[in-house]
Amino acid sequence: MVEQKQRIQFQKDGPRTFESAASHDVKHLKDNLELFLFHFPPESRKGDVVPNMTLRIENAVNILERSPNVMKLQSKNDQTVCTTYAIPNHSAGMFFFDDVNGVLAGMAFVVFSRNGAIVAPTVEWVGTLPDFSNMGLNTERIKRVAAYCRTQGWPPLEATNGFVDDFARKTWQSLVQEGVVVEYEKDKFRFIK
């Protein structure tokens, strides 16, 4: 079966080709991200304040920034900046939704399939926690980002499930409208203009 090419538009970050990571490298990266971000005490419940979340996010970003197999892309409009870290070929990815001042508003940890679709969530949005002030997040900005996400057909930040094909389709379609074209073919992402 011939694989379809996926063309996705983002802000231009220069012409680069990204080879997919070997499966064991992907697992190592994913394990490290989960170690910093998502290992909560067993008794944790929804609504609890996540300890050291700002530090956890910084550590996760540092891991992603250092990995040679990770692609970093950004799309921007008048309300938000969406930073996506992606590893092709059934690998881990992470979205950070920021406002234009760079304040973290929400995050989702997702898995990308070979054709670029989002196929499964592995963690809830940061926005599911009610007391954003304890994580250094601005509640009003989060509300604004949530409202924007709804206009794009994305689930609101409080929605922790439902990462279905329709969400993946709308997400990628919205990115196609944002910037430079990125071509995905087999295990490579490549900027083509």
**Which of 141, 127, 131 lies closest to 99, judged by CA?**
141
**pLDDT 10s digits, 142-184:** 455 445 444 544 443 333 333 323 333 344 444 444 332 333 3
Q: What's the CA gap between 108 and 124, in Å, rounded?
A: 6
The answer to whether 33 and 60 are in contact (CB under 8 A) is yes
Q: What's the CA gap between 112 and 175, in Å, rounded?
A: 15
Name the pLDDT band for 63 (thresholds 50, 70, 90): low
**pLDDT 10s digits, 109-145:** 444 333 433 333 333 333 333 333 333 334 454 455 4
| Total domains present in the chain | 1
**Which of 5, 11, 3 lies closest to 189, judged by CA?**
5
Quickly tell me which residue has 């250092």 as its tokens.
66
The answer to whether 178 and 76 are in contact (CB under 8 A) is yes
* DSSP structural state of residue 126: G
* DSSP structural state of residue 157: T
- Which of 19-33, 63-77, 122-136, 149-163 has the highest average model confidence (pLDDT)? 63-77
Residue 162 lies in a domain: yes
Dig out the tokens for 5 from the structure. 């090419």
Compute the C-alpha angle 155/161/167, nearest 5°: 45
Range of the domain at 102: 6-191
With a cut of 50, say whether residue 37 has pLDDT above it.
no
With a cut of 50, say whether residue 35 has pLDDT above it.
no
Residue 1 lies in a domain: no
Residue 165 lies in a domain: yes
Residue 39 lies in a domain: yes
What is the pTM assigned to this prediction? 0.36
Q: Is 164 left (phi over 0), alpha (psi -120 to 50) or beta?
A: beta
Residue 129 lies in a domain: yes
pLDDT at 77: 52
Compute the C-alpha angle 104/62/158, nearest 5°: 30
Query: Chain-centre distance of CA 108, in angstroms?
Result: 5
Residue 103 lies in a domain: yes
Quickly tell me which residue has 């989960």 as its tokens.
34
